């Protein structure tokens, strides 16, 4: 029976195993790819914004906090935004100009890009595993442990996330912050449609905080192979939120690169981060 980033079950007692999840629902992908979606949209819009005509109208702030930020946060620059529903074409066209990265191309080949990014960030902030389909992003290899019934994760399987991590960290977080500010009305609108106050800063802050709050294992986590899923032998790791468990699947090197990038983004946006 194949195992492909199967869920790490919470709790220490025996229970009926859950059904196998859809192959494309890997939350570890969403931790990195959701950030890539946000940062890519930002950097692409920066390119577009720098080519805007000087007489374009500055979008009105959607929140009082937009008009009074501390020095780190960039000011919104003149940019006429499309509607939320028609923003996909702009994203795809700009990706074609700025990057030939196949990972980004696959990421932006779907519809409702802003809504998908906002939903994934919102779910991460809740500690949940985002469930938006990402079949084009599916790694060619699967999670493996070094033992038959139990053992640490085979270090070679961590390499599955190298390209996604590299795509994220290749983007300057300061430039991503500038472009997020320019695109913020779109993200705010999508966040408001989920029933939140229309300020997506709060969603980003919650998501970064829960990821940063994930403990760093003192050694290689040992997993038990169950029928259709894995679980940690360590009770503390078993009690983590689902998205925090999935963060561990990135591997120590990629995990630190992603968390460092997120801290730098939060600093550029003057967001309050706990760790």
Residue 18 tokens, joined = 């859950």
Q: 108-112, 131-135, 142-146, 241-245: which has the minimum mean pLDDT?
A: 131-135
Contacts of 131 (CB under 8 A, 6+ apart): 25, 123
Q: Over range 16-36, report the average pLDDT.
A: 45
Model pLDDT, residue 132 = 65
Model pLDDT, residue 42 = 43
Instruction: Answer yes or no: is 77 within a domain.
Output: yes
pLDDT band for 204, please (50, 70, 90 cuts). Answer: very high
Instruction: Answer yes or no: is 88 within a domain.
Output: yes
Residue 244 has pLDDT above 60, yes or no: yes
pLDDT band for 9, please (50, 70, 90 cuts). Answer: low
Q: Over range 165-181, report the average pLDDT.
A: 81
Residue 26 has pLDDT above 60, yes or no: no
Best-predicted range by mean pLDDT (74-83, 99-108, 160-169, 236-245) = 236-245
Q: 28-42, 104-118, 165-179: which has the minimum mean pLDDT?
A: 28-42
Instruction: Answer yes or no: is 6 within a domain.
Output: no
Residue 202 tokens, joined = 């709060």
As for how many domains the chain has, the answer is: 1
Model pLDDT, residue 99 = 60
Higher pLDDT, 194 or 170: 194
- The span from the CA of 85 to the CA of 115, in Å, is 9
Q: Over range 85-106, report the average pLDDT.
A: 72
Q: What is the DSSP string of the chain?
A: ---SS--B--SSS--PPPPPPPTT--HHHHHHHHHHHHHHHHHHHHHHHTTS-TTPPPPPPSSGGGGS--TTSPPPPP-----GGGHHHHHHHHHHHH---HHHHHHTTSS-HHHHHHHHHHHHHTT-------GGG--SS---BSSSSEEEBPGGGGGGGHHHHHHHHTS-HHHHHHHHHHHHHHHHHHHHHTTS-S-HHHHHHHHHHHHHTSPPPSSPPEEEEETTEEEESSHHHHTS-HHHHHHHTT-HHHHHHHHHHHHHHHHHTT-----
The residue range of the domain holding 98 is 27-140+161-221+252-268
Instruction: Answer yes or no: is 246 within a domain.
Output: no
Instruction: Answer yes or no: is 240 within a domain.
Output: no
Residue 63 has pLDDT above 80, yes or no: no
* Positive or negative torsion for Cα 251, 253, 254, 256: positive
Instruction: Answer yes or no: is 73 within a domain.
Output: yes
- The span from the CA of 32 to the CA of 161, in Å, is 8
- The span from the CA of 60 to the CA of 76, in Å, is 10
Q: 24-28, 108-112, 210-214: which has the minimum mean pLDDT?
A: 24-28
Instruction: Answer yes or no: is 15 within a domain.
Output: no
Model pLDDT, residue 85 = 95
Report pTM: 0.74
Instruction: Answer yes or no: is 149 within a domain.
Output: no
């Amino acid at each position: 029976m194949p195992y492909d980033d199967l869920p790490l079950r919470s709790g220490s007692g025996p229970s009926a195993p859950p059904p196998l999840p859809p192959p494309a629902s890997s939350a570890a992908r969403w931790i990195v790819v959701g950030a890539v979606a946000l940062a890519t949209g930002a950097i692409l819009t920066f390119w577009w914004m720098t080519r805007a005509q000087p007489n374009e109208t500055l979008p009105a702030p959607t929140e009082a906090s937009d008009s009074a930020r501390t020095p780190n946060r960039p000011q919104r620059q003149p940019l006429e935004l499309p509607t939320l529903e028609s923003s996909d074409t702009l994203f795809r066209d700009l990706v074609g100009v700025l990057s030939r990265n196949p990972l980004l191309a696959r990421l932006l080949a779907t519809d409702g890009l802003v809504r998908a990014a906002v939903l994934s960030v919102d779910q991460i902030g809740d500690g949940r595993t985002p469930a938006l389909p990402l079949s084009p992003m599916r790694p060619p290899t699967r999670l493996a442990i070094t033992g038959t019934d139990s053992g640490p994760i085979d270090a070679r399987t961590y390499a599955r996330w190298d390209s996604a991590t590299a795509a994220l960290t290749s983007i300057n977080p300061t430039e991503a912050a500038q472009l997020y500010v320019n695109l913020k009305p779109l993200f705010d609108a999508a966040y408001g449609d989920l029933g939140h106050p229309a300020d997506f800063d709060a969603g980003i802050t919650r998501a970064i905080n829960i990821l940063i709050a994930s403990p760093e294992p003192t050694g290689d986590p040992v997993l038990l192979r169950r029928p259709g899923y894995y679980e940690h032998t360590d009770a503390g790791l078993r009690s983590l939120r689902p998205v925090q468990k999935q963060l561990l699947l990135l591997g120590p090197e990629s995990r630190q690169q992603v968390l460092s990038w997120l801290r730098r983004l939060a600093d550029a946006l003057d967001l309050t981060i706990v760790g």
